[in-house]
Amino acid sequence: MNISNWLSAAMLNAALRNTAFTPPTSIFLALYTSDPTQADTGTEVTGGGYTRMPIAFSAPAVEGGKQTVKNLADIEFPIAAADWGQITHVGLRTAATGGNLLWSAPIPNPKTIQSGDKPKFLKDSTIVRFTQ
């Protein structure tokens, strides 16, 4: 996943400038029809019964030499009441609405969500790791 500009600045300020950082109390998985980018400029799905879904992560563990966390349970979105479009990216956000983007990533196999579909992300399929 790609770290957002907002989170990068917050982490650098906290670690190197002794600036307080208050972590979010909950994290939400968001779906996008375009790349959210590190600047949080993508197009998130709206309407048709769409809502961000809460997501919880495992404790960090080293995998392949990198600190890694994974989602603890399946994440099921509501049944689409209208077409949502082709989902190309996911993002982790700090709030159910609004808030800040933390990380984002492209979906390996973009999927068009049509009315009646119910998107689901399986346990351990949403992975965040530090690459350096």
What's the total number of domains in the chain? 1
Instruction: Residue 70: give the domain boundaries.
Output: 2-18+26-129
The string of pLDDT tens digits covering residues 35-85 is 999 999 999 999 999 999 999 999 999 998 999 999 999 999 999 999 999
- pTM for this model (two decimals): 0.93
Query: Distance between CA atoms of 85 and 43, rounded to whole angstroms?
Result: 11
Is the pLDDT confidence value at 132 over 60? no
The size of the chain, in residues, is 132
**Residue 129: pLDDT band by 50, 70, 90 thresholds?**
confident
The neighbour count for residue 55, using CB atoms within 10 Å, is 19
